[in-house]
Amino acid sequence: MNQSLYPEFGVLLVDDEASFLRSLSITLARSGGITHVHRCDDSREVMGILQNRAIGLILLDLTMPHISGQELLAMITEQHPDIAVIIISGLNQVESAVQCLQQGAFDYFVKTTEEGRLIEGIKRAIRMQEMRRENQALGQRILNNSLESPEVFDPIISRSNQMRSVFQYLESVAPSNQPLLICGESGTGKELLAKAAHQLSNRTGPLVSVNVAGLDDNVFADTLFGHQRGAFTGAERNRAGLIEEAADGTLFLDEIGDLSMASQVKLLRLLQEGEYYPLGSDRPKRIRARIIVATHQELQQRQAEGSFRRDLYYRLCTHQIQIPPLRQRKEDLPLLLDHFLAQAAAELDKPVPAYPPELPLLLNNYHFPGNIRELRALVFDAVSRHRSHLLSMEVFRQVIGKNEEDGGESLSQASDSLASFNPEGPLPTLAQMDSLLVEEALRRADNNQSLAARLLGISQPALSKRLKKSRPDN
């Protein structure tokens, strides 16, 4: 089984003692999950390795024959300033450590340093390098307004600039081993983005998804961590958890905002320690999957309410995506409408129906509380009832009208804020406001008087009267 290397870039170990290099390699893999390691026991070969290998971090000894560690440090920081260097020396000298840090070393450890502290320092350097590389990649994509793998996003129907920015960010952070938090209202396509992130990561393992909403603590632990035979009544054989199933791949936890406090503690420990215990086992296993989580809830508000741990939130939001709701990306409506019409027609074995020109205008002035999922359901319902040559708008009118009656936002609501007036200027008169509202409704309805009247909440004859009154020459 091919195991994904971590981190994405290479970690070069430089020491003239081959036995120390072997020991350190084993420690990094066992305690830190750091497997993308190169070893060098001759300091004269280091600069050549840096020319030919994608190295992002060097663990460097100071006392070596031929070229000393301090000389190498100066050469590396001059010729490869993008590579982080950690000194791991047998010398416990403050003066030596200060000199190295002044020369540009990221950190300094003594070889007798306790293992946990050393691993944390190395992980910290790896995270710093990952973030630096992600920022560079994101900046380059935004500068060029480009996507390296646009085909990955084909299942996400969009031409919105907001969504393109999301795609560019996702391409930058997809190779990272850090958690990814995807936020967005229900129906915005969070699972599709999780699939895209997994594809872009080029991980050799599978994408394993689970909705954690409503799972109690025991079920959550058993689902994720698995169990040993005899761990509880009915556990007749060993069972691997989803973490093990997702090894070298991605584990996607949906609706993370609904996780119980007890389960949140378990997830936090998993992210902090990088290891877990199957139920009934006293032997830890290392996690070899990247964690992606999603929620439709405001996690900061849940923190304020005391129902979501702050420390878990900060572990999860190293990389964070906010998917805009459909009402903020109305330019996607025509694409989505055509896509769902074709999809529905194919599934129902019908020809793709044409639709009246008023339909996109009607949809454009609706706020879509259920987002893309709601639009898809409306289209499928309309196509299933379709009998004539032109798609009926009745299904759409019924749902939109019902939502308004139930207290939803009105069709004419274009933003979450009220109209504002210049506090230093005079208020418009009611007659002026009447005229402004009529003109705005006609603009949004593309001069369709029937739809404009609906936006204003009046009958079409009433609108015609107002127009005759305000446009006597027409």
In degrees, to the nearest 5, what angle opens at C-alpha 177 toward C-alphas 172 and 179? 85
Q: Each residue of 254-293: pLDDT tens digit?
A: 999 999 999 999 999 999 888 899 998 888 899 999 999 9
How many C-beta neighbours within 10 Å does residue 113 have? Answer: 14
pLDDT band at 417 (very low <50, low <70, confident <90, very high): very low
Evaluate if residue 131 carries a pLDDT over 90.
Answer: no
Please say if the pLDDT value at position 242 is more than 60. Answer: yes
In a domain, 75, yes or no: yes
Lowest mean pLDDT among 13-17, 409-413, 441-445: 409-413
Q: Rounded to a whole number, what is the distance in angstroms from the first to the last CA of the chain?
A: 77
Distance CA 43, CA 45 (A): 5
The amino acid present at 74, given as its one-letter code, is A
Q: pLDDT by residue (tens digit) across 191-221? A: 999 999 999 998 999 999 999 998 889 899 9
User: Residue 149 pLDDT more than 60?
Assistant: yes
Cis amide prior to 428 (ω within 30 degrees) = no
The reported pLDDT for the residue numbered 403 is 60
pTM: 0.74
Are 83 and 101 in the same domain? yes
What pLDDT is stored for residue 364 in this prediction?
A: 87
Q: Return the closest-CA partner of residue 390 out of 358, 347, 421, 422.
A: 358
Query: What is Dmax (Cα atoms) for the chain?
Result: 97
Lowest mean pLDDT among 15-19, 114-118, 438-442: 438-442
Q: What is the pLDDT of residue 420?
A: 64
Question: From CA 112, how far away is CA 91, in angstroms rounded?
Answer: 10
Alpha carbon distance 59, 84 (integer Å):
9
**Do 242 and 172 share a domain, yes or no?**
yes
Query: What is the per-residue pLDDT for 383?
Result: 93
Q: Would you say residue 109 has pLDDT above 70? A: yes
Task: Give the separation between CA 250 and CA 291, rounded to whole angstroms.
Answer: 6
pLDDT at 404: 53
Is residue 423, in this structure, part of any structural domain at all? no
Given 270, 289, 324, the domain boundary residue is 324
- Let me know whether 175 and 290 are in one domain: yes
pLDDT at 2 over 60: no
pLDDT at 113 over 90: no
Report the percent of the chain where pLDDT is more than 70.
93
pLDDT at 381: 93
- Over range 464-470, report the average pLDDT: 77
Q: What is the pLDDT of residue 405?
A: 52
- Under the banding of pLDDT at 50, 70 and 90, the label for residue 472 is low
Task: State how many domains the chain has.
Answer: 4
Residues 310, 260, single domain; the answer is: yes
* 435-442: average pLDDT: 80
pLDDT, residue 413, reads 46
307 and 340: one domain? no
Phi-psi region of 168 (alpha: psi -120 to 50; beta: other; left: phi over 0): alpha
Of 346, 359, 350, 351, give the one whose Cα is nearest residue 392.
359
395 and 295 share one domain: no
Q: Are strands 10-14 and 55-60 parallel, antiparallel or unpaired?
A: parallel
Same domain assignment for residues 157 and 169: yes
pLDDT at position 409 is 47
CA dist 255 → 260, 269, 449 (Å): 11, 19, 43
Cβ atoms of 350 and 391 within 8 Å: the answer is no
Answer whether residue 424 is part of any domain: no
419 is a domain residue: no
Question: What pLDDT does residue 3 have?
Answer: 55
Instruction: State residue 419's pLDDT score.
Output: 60
- If asked whether residues 66 and 125 sit together in one domain, one would say yes
User: Structural domain of residue 100, as residue ranges?
Assistant: 10-134
Mean pLDDT, residues 349-355 taken together: 92
> Is residue 182 predicted with pLDDT exceeding 80?
yes
Spatial contact of 197 and 181, defined as CB atoms under 8 Å apart: no
* Dist. CA 323–CA 366, nearest whole Å: 19
**CB neighbours of 104 closer than 8 A, spacing ≥ 6?**
73, 77, 81, 85
Does residue 34 sit in the same domain as residue 124?
yes
Q: Is the pLDDT of residue 375 over 50?
A: yes
Final residue of a structural domain among 291, 324, 357: 324
Q: Could you say which DSSP state residue 157 is in?
A: -
Residue 59, pLDDT > 90, answer: yes
Report the mean per-residue pLDDT for the chain. Answer: 88
State the pLDDT at residue 407. 47
Give domain status of residue 205, yes or no: yes
Which value, to the nearest 10 degrees, does the dihedral of the CA atoms of residues 315, 318, 319, 323 take? 60
| Mean pLDDT for the stretch of residues 437-452 | 77
Q: Is pLDDT of 414 > 50?
A: no
Mean pLDDT for 312-332 is 93
Domain co-membership, 208 together with 332: no
167 lies in the same domain as 300: yes
**Is residue 242 one of the residues assigned to a domain?**
yes
Q: Residue 11: which of 92, 100, 123 has the closest Cα?
A: 123
For residue 31, what are the CA distances in angstroms to 116, 254, 326, 359, 470? 8, 28, 44, 59, 78
Q: Is the pLDDT of residue 411 over 60?
A: no
For the cut 50, the answer to whether the pLDDT of residue 410 exceeds it is: no
For residue 11, list its beta bridge partners: 37, 57
| Same domain membership, residue 291 and residue 338 | no
